[in-house]
Amino acid sequence: MKKKWMTLTATVLTTALLAGCSGNSGGSAGGNAGEGGTNSGAAGSGESGGAPVELTFWGDWGGEGQAQFETMAGAFNASQDDIRVKYVLQQDMITKFLTSATSGGTPDILFWDRWRTSLYAPKNVLHPIDELMARDGVERDHYFEESLKELTYNDQLYGLPLTVDARALFYNKTMLEEAGLELPTTWEELATAAKALTKRSGDRLEVAGFSMGDPGLFSMYLQQAGGQMLTADGKTNFNNAQGLEVLSFWDRLMNEDKVYKIGFEQGLGEGTDAFVTGKLAMHYTGPWMLSTYKKYGSELDFGIVPPPAGPGGDLASVMGGFGLVIPEGSQHKEEAWTFIKWWLANKDNAMLWAETSLNLPGYKPALEDPFFADDPLWQPFLETLEFAKIRPQHPGYSVMEVDGLIPNLELFLQRKQSAEETLAKAQTQGDKLLKDNEVIE
């Protein structure tokens, strides 16, 4: 899932993107014979005295992320003698993957941003896993249905979820308590709290009550207002009463209550995080920031709640995350599946990943572990994931949002366009982009 946030240092940026790295490894690396074990499926050649099958695992996470992936590959390799997995860091991974799909050298396992599935599955470069799951008894109910949907194209499933995430509301506990405010559960309560927490010195904004710096969150607000981004026949669906309700709410926060100023966070200086430094009272972000914020201990007393409901009581957040897929060109699909199943369909191994990376694992039984269940900071995300929805699966959706919608929303936030003009232009440009990208050959 694409995200925008301020960073403290280059190292913190890596930590935020990769959801941090923990030295703990509470999960078992052994392969069990049941769901997720290494004893089902095709056997490798190591047990019969031959050389083990060598698998190549491509990903574009470096730094701490690379170390996390290497931890998992190493644990799998130590759990059996038939297969050896090697993680290979790839820059510009998707371009190289598409090239390898036609010229050879395709990896056996691919780290996969799930939203890409509807873009690339039509190219026949991914291998469906439905029959493998049925054969080995891997249960769909052990995953969020939305995350499986994001890995599906034309009723075929192309991978398993590695991580899940969703935006929730982070707030500064000290600021809320000093202002005598309750936790916001509705738009109205959010607006009231944001206004009360905003501090100004004349015209100068000293503390922003609530961040309005990411227009990419429009789809979440639209769902909270009871709307949907696309119609059933694949056209934009935001130039309507629900879209106007979102922009009216934004206008109130920005221009009536003046809880935020565009560019405020960037204006604090490179490497400065407004939330950490007490310049921002509340903002939407995801579990990838937990490890960063936890490092500050008592210096940053923060809490998290699910996104407040819209005016009609609608709850919404956007589910994102990653998966593991098998390229169609792999020469070792059975062994690749054995590795994916070991990692993503086994609680012990999913917990090893969770405690190593501090990501929410895609395997739901792992989320019942005390590591998550007993930590109050994880609970709002687990609650949010129960109602979060993925982005529309139209092949041109991401292009429409990035090139058609967001530029117009930015003009609105800069007070260069009215709400009506913004939505009308975004509809015209967005529908054209959807149609132009409807089918990818």
Angle value at C-alpha 184, between 273 and 412, nearest 5 degrees = 60
Residue located via tokens 């699910």: 306
CATH of domain 21-165+320-385: 3.40.190.10
Contacts of 62 (CB under 8 A, 6+ apart): 14, 89
E strand intervals along 154-270? 156-157, 159-161, 165-166, 168-172, 199-201, 204-207
Element spanning 285, H or E? strand 282-285
From CA 284, how far away is CA 272, in angstroms rounded?
17
**How buried is residue 2: exposed, middle or buried, by Cβ count under 10 Å (0-12/13-18/19+)?**
exposed
Element spanning 110, H or E? strand 109-113
Helical residues (DSSP H) of 313-378, grouped into ranges: 333-344, 347-357, 370-373
Which pLDDT does position 267 carry in this prediction? Answer: 80
**How buried is residue 301: exposed, middle or buried, by Cβ count under 10 Å (0-12/13-18/19+)?**
middle
Which stretches of the chain score pLDDT less than 50? 1-34, 38-45, 47
Q: Do domains 21-165+320-385 and 173-316+393-436 have the same CATH topology?
A: yes
Cα–Cα distances in Å, from 91 out to 34, 88, 119, 321? 36, 10, 20, 19
The third-level CATH classification (topology) of the domain covering 173-316+393-436 is D-Maltodextrin-Binding Protein; domain 2 (3.40.190)
Element spanning 409, H or E? helix 406-413
Which pLDDT does position 439 carry in this prediction? Answer: 66
Which pLDDT does position 49 carry in this prediction? Answer: 62
Nearest in space to 360 (alpha carbons), one of 375, 381, 387: 381
Q: What's the token pair of residue 141?
A: 């109910």
Which pLDDT does position 119 carry in this prediction? Answer: 87
The residue ranges of every structural domain in the chain are 21-165+320-385, 173-316+393-436
Nearest in space to 322 (alpha carbons), one of 96, 115, 17: 115
Rg for the chain, CA atoms, rounded: 23
pTM listed for this prediction = 0.85
Contact 121, 295 (CB under 8 A): no
Q: What's the token pair of residue 346?
A: 């086994």
Which pLDDT does position 36 carry in this prediction? Answer: 53
Residue located via tokens 């979820």: 161
Contact 113, 59 (CB under 8 A): no
Treating both helix axes as pointing N-terminal to C-terminal, what angle do 63-79 and 347-357 enclose, rounded to 10 degrees? 150
